[in-house]
Structure 1
Amino acid sequence: GTGFLQALKDSEFLNAIKHRSAIPGGTCEFDLPEYSHWLRQPFSRRQNDLKLWIDDIRPLCDAVSEALWLIRESAQPVDKMAINGMYQHNMQKDVNCRLLRVNLADQSALFPEISGSQHRFTVRFLEWSTTDSRAVQTGHDVPFQLSIC
């Protein structure tokens, strides 16, 4: 109903953090002394506060998890091959796609980068080496599973 999450919406403490956190340096001690004080409270106190806030949103989290599970389970994975690390797919006009799932072998050192629109999408498989350099597309063929949910 209309009162859902009202306690969180009305919390001056949480609203101050929400509004100041978007500003660079906005959560500094001098900008949010109450937040700084809360951070210095015993772990058990902070944990209890977090539990109370999370308990308020738990029904929403559970509903979203259930909806995502239903969407994910609506499609069977299909074996695909990304030639030289890239796979392109044109969507059929009558397909209602809400989610793409890409599954790689557990031991794979690659990760997918997905880009696209309502008409087509591209999956590139990238290799990551260090935090000092950008990931690069692999030059190898990559077997993977794709679910268009």
Structure 2
Amino acid sequence: DAHSTEMNPETSNPVIDLMEEQKQVTAKGGTMRLGAQACEIKEGTRASEIYGTSIISERHRHRWEFNNEYLARFEEAGMIASGRNPETGLVEIVELPGHPFFVGVQYHPELKSTVENPHPVFVHFIKAAKEFADRKASVKNPLLQGEMI
């Protein structure tokens, strides 16, 4: 019954929750977590491969966050918090090793992406999708193609 308190305020397992500093805000105008925020990337992760550096700055526009009380359970199940804010510890990037491309981000990469200079998350996603499609196409037995993931 894990849920987001945005969709289910009464959930007993608020994996996605309102940021602590937002819980007392009643007049919502102009109170989101906005603008560039630092993110420290864990070495040896897909995020590290995508960015090629250990500290990035990405744009945000939200009030909700991954609830760090659940982080240990998610990591025990195999998910990695591969990017975190170095000051607050907020999870910014999660990924699932061994998956062709399971990367989730808290920020908005589309705000730093253009046709001429696409965001690296999008570039790596498209590359992974093409590699997956190529591998799947190379499997001649259609019964095995569904087993690719």
TM more than 0.5: no
**TM-score when normalising by structure 1:** 0.23
Q: Which has the higher contact order (CA 8 A, sep 6+)?
A: 1
**TM-score when normalising by structure 2:** 0.23
Greater share of helix: 1
